[in-house]
Amino acid sequence: MAAGPKEDVFCRIWRGLERAYVAYKDDRVMVIMDLYPLERGQALVVPREHFQFFYEMPKGLMEHFYLVSSATARALKELYKPKAVAMLARGLRVPHYHLILIPVREGSFVDRLFSLMDAVQGFPPVPPEVVAERYQGLGLSLRTYRPSHEELEVDSGRLAELIAKELGRA
């Protein structure tokens, strides 16, 4: 992979040039704490190679990538006891398709987003004022959260133990 000033942030982390809180790393995939999380414990699963979309990954990597992702989600569930762990995927801003795993807590932004989606999709059907209420609730749940260095250290360490345990079971 080409080095240089234009190198993206994930390649720089792989090469140890950029600070990161690593919860898991092997020769193909790494799990790092999100420095700009919506929720505490939010983690990114990142392949070493460049792919913009998941369907560009070779089969073997795809399996491994999602195996590590599911182990990470189970670890997040055990660590934070959220009602669920949501998965968002990105790959356009940085040339590494990656998953954002988010512990979903009651009343959080992602929780409210799903609730709004249900209302908009009409599943189940709700009156327009309920859609409006949920939309407003989503806006109210927005906040900026920047975890401290100590928090990220502790969380990545605890997550690392749990991911290793989960992968051992797989």
Stretch that binds Zn ion, among 1-9, 41-49, 59-67, 126-134 (CB under 5 A): 1-9
Position 20 contacts Zn ion (CB under 5 A): no
Instruction: Pick the closer one to Zn ion by CB: 45 or 138.
Output: 45
- Chain centroid to Cα 90, Å, comes to 10
Amino acid identity of residue 103, one-letter, is: P
User: Could you tell me the CA-to-CA distances from 140 to 44, 88, 109 in Å, in that order?
Assistant: 25, 21, 9
Instruction: Pick the closer one to Zn ion by CB: 11 or 86.
Output: 11
Structure tokens at 153: 């250290």
Instruction: Pick the closer one to Zn ion by CB: 12 or 158.
Output: 12
- Considering the complex, what minimum distance in angstroms separates the CB of residue 130 from Zn ion? 44
* Chosen residue from 2, 4, 5, 8 binding Zn ion by CB under 5 A: 8
User: Phi/psi of residue 71, each to 5°?
Assistant: -65, -40
* Chosen residue from 3, 11, 51, 117 binding Zn ion by CB under 5 A: 11
Instruction: Name the residue among 169, 163, 143, 166 with its Cα closest to residue 21.
Output: 163
Stretch that binds Zn ion, among 6-14, 36-44, 123-131, 150-158 (CB under 5 A): 6-14
Query: Measured at CB, which residue is nearest to Zn ion?
Result: 11
Position 118 contacts Zn ion (CB under 5 A): no
Stretch that binds Zn ion, among 8-16, 24-32, 52-60, 61-69 (CB under 5 A): 8-16
On whether the CB atoms of residues 48 and 24 are closer than 8 A, the answer is no
Instruction: Name the residue among 81, 82, 76 with its Cα closest to residue 33.
Output: 76
# chain residues binding Zn ion, by CB under 5 A: 3
CB environment 9-40: b (16+ within 10 A), e (fewer) = ebbebbeeeeebbebbbeeebbbbbbeebbbb
Position 13 contacts Zn ion (CB under 5 A): no
Instruction: Pick the closer one to Zn ion by CB: 11 or 138.
Output: 11
- Site of interaction with Zn ion (CB under 5 A): 8, 10-11
